[in-house]
Amino acid sequence: MHNYLFSNCISMIYFPLQAALCLSLLFRSADVSFPTGKAIELSFEYLEACETGAKECQPVLINRKKGEQVTLALPAMNRASVGLWDAENYQRLQLRKFPYKAVEQQGSGNDTKALVFDLSKREDGIYYLWLTSCGVGGTYEVRLKTEVQLWILASRSC
């Protein structure tokens, strides 16, 4: 039911106020609010399938328009810790080459809450979510890309 409601909220994306209201009502119990714009939610099923290898873990592809607000939400999990890493720092981490640092870190204690990352001001590129929690864990690739808008100017012929 949750995924059905979420997809209905997302279908209203061309009506930003209605979509924001829909999403805020949907996530009210998780104490999450989204700005107007694009909201992407990773399902627990996706995270679990990537962790267990039940399915091929495809990267999360996020295409946005210039200036568009984009949020990425993870489901409510108990005792979760998530780091958002850019490609350079993640590579340094893998090689244990200091210094390295996550671009953002979030977590939840015993209070189960959804974790939301605002990707609006992040540069285009590849990011990694490194997640540990009581329910699921792993590293998930996120590809962020801003669509280029081409303007075609009509010319008058004499």
Residue 149 has, within 13 A of its CA and on its CB side, a CA count of 7
Looking at 57-120, list the stretches that DSSP marks H as alpha helix, in order from N- to C-terminal side.
87-95
Q: Domain range holding 30?
A: 2-146
Residue 29: what residue type?
S
Is 51 within a domain?
yes
Q: What is the pLDDT of residue 54?
A: 83
Q: What is the pLDDT of residue 148?
A: 84
For residue 4, is pLDDT > 70? Answer: no
Is 79 within a domain?
yes
Q: Which residues pair with 139 in a beta bridge?
A: 130
CATH of the domain at 118: 2.60.40.10
Is 60 within a domain?
yes
Q: What is the pLDDT of residue 153?
A: 62
Is 107 within a domain?
yes
Dist. CA 76–CA 114, nearest whole Å: 4
More confident residue, 158 or 142: 142
> Rg for the chain (alpha carbons), in Å?
18
Helices 16-26 and 2-11 pack at an angle, to 10 degrees, of 170
Is 135 within a domain?
yes
**Number of folded domains that form the chain:** 1
pLDDT in tens, 81-114: 999 999 999 999 999 999 999 999 999 877 777 8
pTM for the whole structure: 0.71
Is 154 within a domain?
no
> Across all residues in the chain, what is the average pLDDT?
80
Is 84 within a domain?
yes
Band of pLDDT at residue 8, cut at 50, 70 and 90: very low
Is 157 within a domain?
no
